[in-house]
Structure 1
């Protein structure tokens, strides 16, 4: 029997170990989910909403246990209090817009005809969730999928195995049937085999580009709907009229928070030449004040990365950049805990797009900062990327930001903010960041399919 382990980045200990479902057991789980879905979809929308939101409330009641549990699993410091604020905000918004988003589009209801487009649940939805924000990323799809009348199988990352169990505990206690929401432990091969067997009406995956390609290969020829949020290399651009202090505070926090392991974290910054030196000076001062260490310690502001190999990848990108002429500005002596999964933060200047650290996803606490002459140069550099999730613009001129935003190859344009997911807007990306869209009304449309009714009334 194959087992899946969560190894703590704190000390390398095994946090939890669970057996992976066999092929037969996984197929039975799929069958139960499909069998339970029709009755769930037949319940009134208001009832489904109430049960999901009770489940969300139950998660909130567990937060005191969840916060240290998350620290042990993936290393986020306990001082930040977990994810329930964003988790609840997203679920609440999707509950509030559900009636409008799922309402039929009525074209005609006359004496002769009734014509409308309804939204119908896909059936069984597979959600493959990542470890970096394991509750918030999961709820993005789980809540609207259930509310829309789908049944859900949740496969969580091995690094956060206990998150799926927490969600199952919370939703089942709320009254959602066990076969309607199932937490599963699957290996990659079994997951691919299930997708290839057309087990699901829709698959949502958040993770690496390689993982997204594997999902697409498995789904090829099945015509299964797939939503993919993959890698990112999100840029920030600071213009001459920006609020410099706000720009530095926000962009550096967006680059370093959660040890840089944020889907829409800032990985490269372009600053107009006149503000470059001041920006860099302020950025270095902020990062020099961080405290790297045990995430269970309330004093810690920067915990370990989720795995040592992730930290090693960032170290390799950084050392290659320095060897090619980049200048590191953070003194390693300030971070003696550096080693293994514990990775000191770093700011690099004198960087170019010939360096991997400015092109490939880092997903760690390192950021390169480059001066630019004007909007045209900044735009060319921002678009010089295989990814497109978010871009953060800093200026007092909204029209200028909108004009630039129209030319940036990205899923979301931020003005004077960064690293935030607004559940009222579609969460989406382009290029190697993936396809599809979550949250907002569009999220509901992706989790349902249209069905047209053309009804001629008897005369």
Structure 2
């Protein structure tokens, strides 16, 4: 079951990995992007797969999860909201049905005082505002060292003022429309909540007025705190918060202070410091001096911690997630009549097995020698039928 924000890319890689690993696939795309789902089906059909190996299904989203779980499939991969993911996990728990859940994020970006300021600001704009902010792994919370905070925010606002919002038909618009009215309402609600609770709001309202669409101004929120929705929930719109920190330890604490943990990024010229910070972040992926790009690396596993989901797709871990493990143990000594620890038991069997441990681990040479003799005696009985 795939979402509407990246309606082709997200389901395509999961369908491909499922087919590669030997499965048949049923795909249900978001209702809002049904036509993209049909285009994806046409691409897969062009591969001339065996009949019945791939099915594209169009059913209402409010019944899809239960229908899939009750249908007898082997596993469900779901990308969507946290509330729906929790409902699916509850339903799946009734029969211990396996799920993989990717449920979004409220991703943090940590900018150290030695970061390349221009690249960090440019990266914040890319990761915070591309796709109108509708990226589960997009930047929503930015933490900046207090020594460069003013410079960072000043440059961020300057660059945002050079951008515009509208319906792009001639490659002359920077940020487009949100996808649904419900999502636009959520973004407005989060911004209004932050304003009511004392945040400073900066907006760039360069929206082409004559264009119809679900547009929202590019927004920067300062003086945010954890009482605000924008810090605690996924906003999923062209909005970022910027908060200063005094120490790296404080930045790590603030970044981890979230129920979500999909991705994060660290911006510094010191790679050793970057990796030390990355090792303390409670997320599925950490990018250094970059953001919103690891999903495009087919070899990297994709998934989050905490309420950002359960399980992995992409990479070797993702390929394994499309399978069920089975171990087959060969008979390497077909001439044996019985294993040496099988019945009948006796003191000789006990001494032989204990002797094996003495032979392997004792520091006393005498015990090791007597141990191997007792072990050999027990092993030789494996060839007898009595």
TM over 0.5: yes
- Identify which of 201, 210, 218 aligns with 2:74: 201
- Which residue of 108, 115, 119 corresponds with 1:246? 119
Q: What is the CA distance between 1:412 and its match in structure 2?
A: 0.7
**What is the Cα deviation at residue 316 of structure 1?**
1.4
Q: How does 1:126-145 map to 2 (within 5 A)?
A: 128-145=1-18
Residues 220-242 of structure 1 deviation map (CA, whole Å, 9 limit, x = unaligned): 23222110000200000100111
2:207 matches 1:335: yes
Whether contact under 8 Å (1:129, 1:205) holds in the other structure is yes
Partners of 1:198 and 1:222 within 8 A in 2: no
Residues 376 and 177 of structure 1: CA distance in aligned 2, closer, same or farther (over 3 Å): same
Report 1:444-455 matches (<5 A).
Answer: 444-455=319-330
Cα distance in 1 for residues equivalent to 2:42 and 2:212: 36
State the superposition RMSD in angstroms. 1.7
Please state how far the C-alpha of 1:244 moved relative to its aligned partner: 0.6
In the alignment, the residues of structure 2 paired with residue 199 and residue 170 of structure 1 have an alpha-carbon distance, to the nearest angstrom, of: 26
Report the CA distance between 1:319 and its aligned residue. Answer: 1.6
Q: Distance in 1 between matches of 2:21 and 2:30?
A: 24
Q: 1:194-245 CA deviation, whole Å, 9 max, x = no partner?
A: 3342521110000100121122123223222110000200000100111111
Distance 1:289 1:221 in 2: 53
Larger CA deviation: 170-179 vs 300-309:
170-179
How far 1:369 sits from its partner (Å)? 0.3
Distance 1:184 1:149, change over 3 A: same
Unaligned runs of 5+ in 1: 1-127
Corresponding residue of 2:346: none
Q: Does 1:401 align with 2:277?
A: no
Q: Could you say if the C-alpha distance between residues 321 and 374 of structure 1 is closer, same or farther in structure 2, counting changes exceeding 3 Å?
A: same
Structure 2 residue matching 1:361: 3-state secondary structure:
coil
Pair 1:255-2:128 in alignment:
yes
Separation of aligned partners in 2, 1:169 and 1:449: 29
Whole-angstrom CA distance in 1 between matches of 2:53 and 2:73: 13
What residue number does 1:430 align with? Answer: 305
The DSSP-based 3-state class of the residue aligned with 1:423 is coil
Report if aligned partners of 1:264, 1:390 keep a CA contact under 8 Å in 2.
Answer: yes
Alignment of 1:45-194 (within 5 A): 128-194=1-67
Q: Is the 8 A contact 1:295 1:304 kept in 2?
A: no
Highest Rg: 1 or 2? 2
Query: Which of 284, 289, 295 does residue 416 from structure 1 map onto?
Result: 289
Aligned to 1:324: 197
Q: Distance in 2 between matches of 1:340 and 1:387?
A: 30
- Secondary structure in structure 1 of the residue aligned to 2:326: strand
**Residues 1:365 and 1:148: Cα distance change in structure 2 (over 3 Å):** same
Q: Which residue in the other structure is 1:360 paired with?
A: 233
- Does residue 1:312 correspond to 2:189, yes or no? no
Distance change in 2, residues 1:129/1:196 (3 Å): closer
SS state at 1:153 partner: strand
Is residue 211 of structure 1 aligned with residue 84 of structure 2? Answer: yes
Structure 2 CA distance for partners of 1:132 and 1:382, relative to 1, 3 Å:
same
How far the C-alpha of 1:189 sits from its partner, in A, is: 5.0
Higher strand share: 1
Q: Say if 2:14 and 2:313, in contact at 8 Å, map to a contact too.
A: yes
Measured after TM superposition, the shift of residue 298 of structure 1 is 2.6
- Which of 191, 202, 221 is matched with 1:348 structurally? 221
Q: Separation in 2 of the partners of 1:197 and 1:349?
A: 47
Relative to structure 1, the CA distance from residue 331 to residue 135 in structure 2 (aligned partners, 3 Å threshold; closer, same or farther) is closer
Quote how far apart the aligned CAs of 1:330 are.
2.4
Alpha-carbon distance in 1 for matches of 2:147, 2:172: 36
Q: TM-score, normalised by structure 2?
A: 0.82
Distance 2:145 2:63 in 1: 50
Equivalent position SS for 1:269: strand
